[in-house]
Amino acid sequence: MSNHPQDFLPAQAHDAIEALGDDVWWVPGTMRMNKLMGVSRNMVIVRSGDELTLLNPIRLDAAGEQQLEQLGRVRHLVRLGCFHGCDDAYLKQRYGAEFWCQADSRTYPEPPSDHVLAEDWPLPFPDAQLLVFREVKRPECALLIRRGDGILVTCDSLQHYTNWQRHSLIARLAMPLMGFSRRLLVGPLWLKFQTPADSSVRPDFERLLKLDFDALISAHGAPLMQDAKNQARGAVERAFADKGANR
């Protein structure tokens, strides 16, 4: 049984699809939690042949869908973090795409996965590589696009901000108080939610830093298209330097 488009969350405000090169695009979007709180939210689009893979998928408005459909055929939807996914069911229905997520990624139970994301398992396009966070409490992974010097796509683990555009006034005021700043950082709230008692997530970031990448596009903020690995090293050092809580 299929639902009507209006049965799903409507498209939230977003800008036009922007090319980043190497058959990779991003969409600067938003996520509004309530009347006062809204933050940036991004989607990455990867083309392989005529097939499109949407990473951190978001529903686009009619003009955005038209632009998307001109790029190729939407074939795969990939949920990289368990705190995202409110548009996955809509996109699966609209495009008949195959949905990928980690086992137990159930914050948004719909749609059920067609493929489980796991390291060393098949991925939606050939020049992709997956890193699964192993030390965290809830599913999270990152996907490396092995094109050029490497583009790492994260969800909430690493986030890069250059400004607070697409954030509501309340978010702009609150985020610096919660540990967010305008640079590449380990998501401070994410790290709190994800760190088990008496344990550390740092080993996952040490494995991430062994990947070959120079660009990073997170589900929040803005793409960082150069020097991302170097800046990621700094972000990890800062996150775990003096934090008893994070170790």
Residue ranges in contact with Fe ion by CB under 5 A: 156
> Can you tell me the distance from the alpha carbon of 60 to that of 62, in angstroms, rounded to the nearest whole number?
7
162: its two tokens = 């250059």
**CB nearer to Fe ion: pick between 156 and 204:** 156
Which residues are within 8 A (CB) of 236 and not within 5 positions of it... i.e. 6 or more apart?
Answer: 186, 202, 205, 206, 209
**CB nearer to Fe ion: pick between 9 and 19:** 9
> Can you tell me the distance from the alpha carbon of 150 to that of 122, in angstroms, rounded to the nearest whole number?
19
CB of 137 vs Fe ion, minimal distance in Å: 15
Q: Which residue is nearest to Fe ion (CB)?
A: 156
With tokens 């994410």, the residue in question is: 190
> Can you tell me the distance from the alpha carbon of 79 to that of 119, in angstroms, rounded to the nearest whole number?
14
CB of 200 vs Fe ion, minimal distance in Å: 21
With tokens 């991925």, the residue in question is: 123
**CB nearer to Fe ion: pick between 80 and 91:** 80
**CB nearer to Fe ion: pick between 29 and 64:** 29
CB of 218 vs Fe ion, minimal distance in Å: 8
**CB nearer to Fe ion: pick between 42 and 48:** 42
Do residues 194 and 130 touch, judged by C-beta distance below 8 A?
Answer: no
Do residues 161 and 73 touch, judged by C-beta distance below 8 A?
Answer: no
Task: Name which of 134, 131, 137, 139 is nearest 108 in CA terms.
Answer: 139
CB of 1 vs Fe ion, minimal distance in Å: 30
CB of 156 vs Fe ion, minimal distance in Å: 4
**Residue 41, beta-bridge partner list:** 29
CB of 31 vs Fe ion, minimal distance in Å: 8
**CB nearer to Fe ion: pick between 88 and 156:** 156
